[in-house]
Structures are given as C-alpha cells and as structure tokens.
Structure 1
Amino acid sequence: MTESNHRISEYDVDPLFLNRWSPRAFSGEALDEQALLTILDAGHWAPSAFNSQPWRFVYALRDTPEWDKLFPILNDFNQSWAKTASAIVILLSKTHFAAPGSSEEKLSYSHSFDAGAAWGAIALQAQLLGLQAHGMTGIHLDKAREILAIPEDGFRVEAAIAIGRPGDKTQLPDHLQGRETPSPRRPLAQVAFNGSFAG
C-alpha cells in the first residue's frame, strides 16, 4: 500500500504516481525554456509502435508572443484558469507512418495511443521538477489547425497541456476551488480483469 498526496493505493506503487495531479490554480511564475524542454524531452522518450514517434509538441512560454498565439486555442473555460500557467503545449500526433523496410506510409492504428504515452511522461517529468501538468481536450480544434498551420491530412490535434507550479486555489472561481484537490481513482478491481472483460 502507498499513501501520498491525500491518495491511497492498494498496492506498492511509487509515490510519483500519486503525487502527479492536474491542478487548475497555477502560480503564474515564469518557466525557463530549458525546464520546459526537459519536460518535453521526457515525452519524446515515450514508447511507440515501430518506434514511429508520432507525437509533436508546439509550445509557448507565458508573457511571450508565442503565448498570445497559442492561448486562444483553449476554450473559454480552460482560458479562465490556464491564464496563470507558465507554459502551454499543444500535443499532436502524426497519423501515418512507414513501417521498417517500407517507403510507403500507412495509417497508424496507435498514433493517439502513442501520443498519450508521451503525455504521461510529460506529466511525470513535470512533477519531478516540482511542477504539474494539466491536460485538456477543451480546445478549438479548427482554430488550432488554422493558427498553427497544421495540414488537413496527416496530423491529429490531440490535446493541450498547461504546465506550471501549483498556486493558491483562492484565485479560482468558487465552483472550482472545491475541486482543487488530487482526485481519487476507482478501485483497481473495477478496471483490471483476470481473463475476461467485465465492463
């Protein structure tokens, strides 16, 4: 059993996994680009089918022209709290790949799955640096394609990620302050089944 960050695991998982969570209140502190690139570097070491590495990261640090460019991609709700983050990352995946020994690209079944593995590594590396990362799909997909000049075919916009040092929850609207705590999980027995699917 592991207990950390107001969370309890039935098993002896590393506290790293319990200490990672998704705050909405960030301190608004500037983040050094070297630290952000360290976080993204962890993401780019994630596993992927055929080592195709389909993830792509477009990032912006707060108080920069790039921030002003990327911030409108978030929907209004996410803008309301992500405005105090230190960085925003837009996560994309390349939908096609050429298998080893082939020059022809075909649809990758796992491009989103692999990009999700990169997101997990990003979140854990942020936590190791004393930061947190909050992933979100509340984004304007069409606006992302337009602003970032993403081709219509070949890439999927997966999510946005806000990264920063956790801040004072009183900066959030009342209805979000009560949710500003690490969330629990269902018991493992409700999601892990031995030998047959049980919903």
Structure 2
Amino acid sequence: MMHEAKIKNEEIFINYFSEKLSLILESTDTNHRNDISTFFKTSNQDNYYALMGRENNMIPFLSVQDNLMLGVSKKNKQAFLETVDSILVSFKLDKETLLSPANSLNDTEQMIYQIIRSLALKQNIIIFDSANESTVFLTNLMPLLKKFTRLSKVAVVIVTPTKEVAESNYYDQCLMIDHFFK
C-alpha cells in the first residue's frame, strides 16, 4: 500500500511539478506544510532542498564558497564552481562575495546563495514562506527561478499564504492547497 502511494505521488510530481515554477497558496488559518513535505518525501524526490523562510543560515565561520561546497565531492568541485559562477552572473552577484565569511551576509542574501547552491546541484527547491515582508523579494526572484526550472530541469515550489505573490506573471501554475485537503 505504501509503495503504491509512493508511485502515485511520483507520477503526480512528474506530471504537475517537474521543470515548473509552481505556486501553492495556502490558507492563513490552516497549515499544510507537513503534508507538503511528506508528499515530496514519498514521491521519490530525494533530490530536493527545502527553504523555511529565513531560517537557512550558513555556518558563520566558513566562507560563502565553503558553505556552498558542503557535501560536494572533491572530484566534482571544479565543475560545481563553474556552474555556480554562471548562476552568479544570472543573479548579477559578484564572484568575490564567495570569499567573504558567511556571517557577513544578511538572512536574505544567505537564502539566495542557498538557492544558487540548489540550482547548481540540480535540486528541486521548496520555499516555505510566511513573512509578508518577503512578498517583493519572492516576486523579484520568480523570473530567475522560472528561467532555471528550464535550464537546470528542476522544480521550484513556493508555498505561501500571501496572495500578492500570485499576481506575478512568472509562475507556471498556482494551486490552492485547501482544495486538496477538503
């Protein structure tokens, strides 16, 4: 039974989320984040990175580059750094920042570098957002994320209760999460 659910969830993921920027609008009074996380865990999508608002701090005493390199084998280091460099150009970020200590970046900048790392590793990304002040940030980030869903062949899912994010033209689909759990 569990195996069947896993196969079904994998089919849903491939058909509805693969290589797309998806927006999931959740109700402000009902939290389905655990359900969403469980869905990704049971859909054979082990290659994903979840960002929980601004809580994705880097290890402060390491450089930004060392933080990005965590878990990357020495054999793949050069190719990974070349990919990061090309993504930095798209994000209009200075390569020199990679040499800075991670604690010199604010929370939003750290989040951007974590997204860049995920894109370089071709990981699917889930952004769980709850801060209303991040609406402008997410809206500005969406054109780049949409571009990289195609280039890196990854899925990006933004989960937010903020309806203003849905006014953007840069997502492929918008799902109302409460409709799935009624």
Class of the TM-score when normalised by the shorter of the 2 chains: under 0.3
Q: Of the two structures, which has the highest relative contact order with CA contacts closer than 8 Å and spacing of 6 or more?
A: 2
TM-score using structure 2 length? 0.28
Per the normalisation by structure 1, the TM-score is 0.26
